[in-house]
Amino acid sequence: MASFTFRRQLTIEWGHCDPAGIVFNSRFFEFFDASTWLLFESALGVKAQDLASVHNIVGIALVDARANFLKPAKFGDLVELASRISEFRRSSFDVEHRLSVNGALAVEGSESRVWAVRDKTDPDKIATAAIPADVIAKFG
């Protein structure tokens, strides 16, 4: 289990919220995606936009996303989002996201992603590849 954790704070915007005055569910998945990129940037020391070219991959493709909504987040709330890799497998990994409002866990999210490369026989297709050991090592 990787211990490297990326934390950021963000303030909930008017445009994030729905008529109930709370963050609309899809926004949390935007927050998670952005934090996963920042987690990699932070752990690997490579800018998010250079991740694919530096590692000769297509990207870190999302195959599963999930969120459990425990408490609402409202307009103006300062939230903290803590993200880390909870498991590395051969060519895939899970990211765990914990979003807190005023110190209380509000949303638990998880993503499963694959280390995606171009298929050698059909460059229009995507295949998965083993995640390099040195990449995994940088997440501690």
Binding site for a copy of itself (CB under 8 A): 13-15, 17-21, 24-27, 29-30, 33-34, 37, 47-50, 58-59, 62-69, 74-76
Structure tokens, 34: 């952005």
Which is closer to a copy of itself, CB of 13 or CB of 119? Answer: 13
One-letter amino acid for residue 50 of the chain: D
Which is closer to a copy of itself, CB of 3 or CB of 123? Answer: 123
> CB of residue 45 vs a copy of itself: minimum separation in angstroms?
14
Residue spans of beta strands (DSSP E) within 1-140: 5-11, 59-69, 78-88, 92-101, 104-118, 126-128
Question: Which residues make Cβ contacts (< 8 Å) with residue 123, sequence separation at least 6?
Answer: none
> CB of residue 129 vs a copy of itself: minimum separation in angstroms?
17
> CB of residue 83 vs a copy of itself: minimum separation in angstroms?
14
Say if CB 125 and CB 119 are below 8 A apart: yes
> CB of residue 122 vs a copy of itself: minimum separation in angstroms?
15
Which is closer to a copy of itself, CB of 75 or CB of 88? Answer: 75
Structure tokens, 9: 């704070």
